Amino acid sequence: MKLTIDTTEGKLTSETEAETRVLELYSKEAFQLISQQWLKIGWNQKYPYTFSWLGRPIVQLPEDMIRVQEVIYRVRPDVIIETGVAHGGSLIYYASLYTAMGHGRVIGIDIEIRPQNRQAIEAHELSHLITLIEGSSTAPDVVRQVYSLVKPGETALVILDSNHTRQHVAAELEAYGDLVTPGSYIVATDGSMKDLYDVPRGNASWAWDHPAAAAAEFVASHPNFVLEQPTWPFNESDLTENITHWPGAWLRRLS
């Protein structure tokens, strides 16, 4: 695709092998096309690696942080389970939301929690709301431990942000799908890999080996889940699509 931005004429020209379109530069369609390229360039420049939350690095797109906050506040799960800990910023973020809401706790799972990260998380003011589990998120003993930490009758929301291969995410969906309560979600993050396979830091295999593919396959074989973007609780624009690294990520449990 070739995009030409003409700020003098206020036009955006989109050229592909199939067609050429001339759009109003300040239109919804132009915003979506420019945003798609912004996401790709920003990821290649490691833009999501420039943020922190309450003192801990958080490797997330701020837009995704705001959208997941909207869902957490609406669903109000008793517990959030996240696979993939890294620096712990996401765990601290969820714990801070629970502090504001006055209820909830977080479980973080990672195959390796580096000593300096564990020390920083455990020394944080919100550590009392966080349980850390070290081990593969799909290992039977780890899965059993997580299930044992969720009490009968509690509501749960699961966020998958560890190994992003199609196979691993599929295994995580099978392992943790039953923990998700009706009306809540299991979120297979970073489906944007399917759009990043051709950037300099990307990998050609990502065109097919990505979390969104695993999510779509899971929904096809589990009729009690539906793949849908949560509705925005506030919107005074005519926009309808997230600017996100999590496309095709949101699996809502129906029953």
pLDDT at 43: 98
Share of the chain above pLDDT 90, in %: 100
pLDDT digit string, tens, across residues 99-144: 999 999 999 999 999 999 999 999 999 999 999 999 999 999 999 9
> Which whole-number Å values give the CA distances from 9 to 1, 5, 153, 239, in the listed order?
21, 9, 59, 23
Global pTM exceeds 0.75: yes
